[in-house]
Structure 1
């Protein structure tokens, strides 16, 4: 992609500014606060959104207007020119993308154009500033190597920050030999609590015995409860058997009765099926009688309808002839129209003859005159040129008069203004006087400035003398005070204080002398400067007194002559221009005459082609052509109408003969009009067709009745077969015997229905069917039920005893635990154990994350890093002029080793600061050349190389220029860097633009 245009509506202090970019390398130069960083931030914001208020980046919202945002015009090789506009809206702004083909979109289309690259990744790979190199300068030791490795992976120190954050989180939680981390502290506390808990357990032997007894009692209670459930289940089954014993006996009786009907055979739903079948048989018999009666009626009607077959055979030809009658009427109307058109054309031809009024025979004009399209175009052009030549002649006459008058006027004005000019000797004298007057004024102004400087220097000298006197008084007083203090200390035997006082006094005295000497030197310098200024001031006063002023009249006279000379020069220039204009008009006359003669020759040729006189051609050549062309067209149209009249007459005769033929053949031999003959023929055909349609309809009905008769007969036979089948199954031949067996079948069904009800009740009972025979063998189920109740009472009594014993044991255990020591220790231990597990899980998450990061780095070193390092090595060798030739990743962890041309390996921390920065830039550029080479985003650089010397700066810029697939946008405030870039790629942000627009 290539940035073509930057338009800023409002961004920071930038308002209503447009920058056009026409080259792959573009430089923005300006002083500090000229807006370079603002423009760079603007490009990022339009592409990736304005920074939100929660982010630390500046939003650059304008202070003096409400419009916030702008647009970029970017060229994409696959798509063309795209306009990306972003203005104030939601948190990151409202974006609109417009493509060259008219397609529009928002964030989704912009993401598609940028291939999913976000702001962080773009700034990591393609955007440089001074802070990136400053980060390199602040790192030391192993951290520097890991930083460079992180840059080689993602373009920034993001990988290094993640690794450091993970290690920091792990160290906060646990260190192998540490004491303060949370896991270390809780592990020690957990060990202490465990020791206390074990001691408490040893002192509670009785407690363990009670717990064992409690477990035994609870186990016994569970066994008895199981027996109790089993006995209760058996009791419920006995109660259920007592309830269903009666219906089981009824089931046995029903099964015995059904056995007596074992030999009975009767069709399922036989009686119902016979009744329905009997009804169908009676219905079909009635339908058959009805069909026979209707068929007889149809035969009688067919024999009573007479037909005329010859008329129907000729139906097609008759209809073709009759349908021509509307054509006949149209032909009559068309004949009338054509005759009227013929009269009109004759009148128009007479009118054209009168307009042309040529002494030429009509046949010669119509046959021999040339009216081709080519000649028509020539005539039109000739007529147009004739008009233009006439207009040009009139225009040239007017211009000649105007130019001649203007020339004469200018010559007179030049002559008058030349007489008003001063002679050369007089003008030279006045110029000399004015120049000397300007020098005098300048000397006077400089003398005033020197006078003020003399006053300032004298005042500063007095101030320095006062300051020296004040310093002398302060120094004398302080020295006397120190000497007195030192003497007093000596009298009292304070040797240390005495030495300090005398030492301070001596040092202060020497400092005072040194300062006094410097002050005197400064005073002497100012006195010397004052003397020089006074001398220069005196010389200027002498020059001013000798100078002579120029009179106001002379200055005004010189100024008026200067104005006249400027006006005279302008008039001379106008006169030259007017002479040239006059000559051009004369040349135009000559050119017009040549064109006119050539055009007259062409008119003679065209007149011969049209067979018209030359005089008519010179006046109205194109009009004459149009009239002749129209005359020929009318003649062709008249001939066409004559031919059409002939064809109409022939077609009418054919229609009449056909209609008359059919009328005489099928109607009575009588005369009539064509319209009546058509009507009577059509009426006869219609009547005959109705008879034919009625016969066909009756025949179809007869066929339908025959088909229905076959259908009813087939159905009747099928129903008879069904009747025989039913009676055969029942083993009877008469309907009365069939009804008797039907009654027996109904009684059998009732028994089955009752048996099914009993079986359903037995299914709902709690006793399974296979267990019923067992219960049938019980002689006295009521007695056995009473025995089960006694067993249940004994088991319930034992459970109650066990509950009381468990309660007593629990009471004893709770009494032992009432002291709280063991319970509290156990609770505290469990709580500490739970908290420790949570902390360990939290530590494990960060440990796994760090391990995954290490594995990812290892995979990156093995698969993706070699391609990038190969390009980075080429870049580093170019930047260092072959001093360093290889970049090798460390075998373990993150970091690089750099090989010199002497084949010595250095860690990043062992390199110089400048070489480290070159290594950093080599890796950043290599990322753009390898992993991100298909994106082709511009490099945006903001004064990143100001710490490099001239040689290293030249190498870096040469390397960036080699990246031809990436546009280079460079921001700088250093003028010495501009020599590396062409002048046409430079955009200077001047002071005026910064003060007003920025």
Structure 2
């Protein structure tokens, strides 16, 4: 598998780029630049370095500011390391020269070998695609997908596709089931004509068929004898091969006989001796290291025991517990002073806040006051409801006025329209005027059409009369001719012919004459007369205008009546809303009175200020609560300070430590700290030795595990060899080697036999124990049989020649010979064309079968990989992709099981599906070619989220294969954190 990666590109001159370099240091490189910044030129330069360009295309990229056209591309190959490709337009006609790290030079054939035969078209099919390819997926069918797989996966795919079209065209040029122009169709017609002519010649010769039958029988006899001769020769050939292979059969029997002296199943591990020696070499150092570690373990345990004897762990734990409360004890006094100062401040603040509110509530009442959790919400709702009631009252007044004004306006408009309506008599008169006008117009058009048809009938009538008279004259002429023939030949048949023609001609003339009279009567009978009432177009326009205005007024009246009904409905709704408002207003006053009863001090505050009052009272209650809490804290801290000092004195008394009466609490704590420090030092030493013991034990376990692994491997070797001792193992190794050699020799003789015979044949020959005398006798017998059959064939051929000579005399006529010659030539040509068509048909079937096999092999893998990429691109929105079939396009499936065809998706989602399909197809079909991917702005319709997902996929692909992305979108650059951005603006 070839794996290449671009490292650096140096451009001498190519299009707009002159003397510039690009470093591809990362596996994922993004070349960013605006439109017309030269991205496509760089992409084309890379392809030029790999595959070259024809002279005309090289001329297109000739730089205008330099005489040099070409450059260098440094590539890393996983097999040979770095090498550099150099191409120049004026050097070697643009052919490549490659420089490897060892300083050697290689030609273009060597580069093609490193690319595994890859050409430009195949590389672009597998490793390169752009935004212009995205629209193809919507019309993609199953056959298109098969062609894509074939075109991407096979080198020379365009040739295969062109070959398919060429085969189909050639087949149609040769033969069509219903055609006349193809070669085979024309040849069949020509052959039919020749055969018909030949049969006419042969009908006069009675004995011709008998001789032809005799010829066929003799030919059949010759064919049977020839078949028997071929069988006899084949039998002789088989005996010759058996005689040649007798020494090989002898060697095979000798080897198989030797093989029986060994056990049927001789199990021995592969390279068993070398593996055993390698295991023993690794086992001895491990056993030595284990002994050293065991000795060190004993020394650590002795030192650890001596330290444990000196420690006082119970006293240490008790002293440590007291010292843990040291800081708390010293802080108790400071906290007492702080609490007393806080109590004074809170008391002053409480008095100031009560005086500021001035709502007639005392400190004692405040301490007893409690607010349920819903009071604040309730007061806010009351305030909001009161404000809402005022707004609704104003809104109801406005709605009432608007309804009254609207009703008055609609009634006035309705009365005006009623006055403008036309009377019923006037309407009937206008409708009658318009109907009369339309009737006259229709009669005029019918009369015009009748006149045209009458004129056409006169022309047709003249033609028909002429044809009728001509046919009658012909029939009379034929009848006269039949009468003359009857007179001269005296045959009654001609009289019947005369009567038939006279009767037929006369009847057709009478029938046609009658038909034309009927048509004439119909044409003259059609008469259309106008009505007496005539009106001008001006009168009709005025009438239509008046009717349109009348109908418009009717529609407006209906509309106004509907609006009046709507106004009445709205007025009823308004009355209901007014009653509802009064009910709500009464309920609100009831709720406010209830709050006055619960909290009398609210009588002195307007309802709009109740929420602010609640917060102020809440703050006062919080201050009262803080004051009471500080009192409780002062009492608790005093108790804790006394308890701590008592526990210290108790510790010294229990452990009989001597102290003076002048020792303060701090002095006693200092003695405890010195004792704890000493104990910590001894504990540290103990921990050190414990750690050493743990490390020692861990190392021993690791060594034992390694020793156990080696011992287990030795056991596995003995078990695979089915032995228990090392000597038995070596003995069995020798037997296995000898048996393997015999099997190799047997395999060699079998290969020699299979080159001469099939497997079934040589196994049967070995079983029959062939010997030379019997084979020689059989050989002589077949040889005599061949001679006898050849004699019989010669006799039959002589008889056949005599009969053919006789037929030649019968066919000596020049016309017959010429006809027979052309018939055989045409027949030979037909056979040639049929054979050519059959070859094309077989080639077409083989090509289609190859395409189907290739599709069935790769399509499931491609669709599975496409589903993975598409699911990740769409954030698990779609979980599966289904390939197109004969009548359905691509389909995608949601996690809920619902499917959508590709034409039901958005443009961005369709593009993502194509990119997923393109990547999957390239990855599956490029397993043997790991060349860098080149992608040109294929994510143009992606949003920012799916662009990030796409870049994550590209980063994962880049771990195995280099990816180079050309883009003009900054979002693509920002979406990847693991890529190298190459801005073209900096290169310029």
TM-score range for the pair, normalised by the shorter chain length: 0.3 to 0.5
Given the two structures, how large is their TM-score scaled by the length of structure 2?
A: 0.37
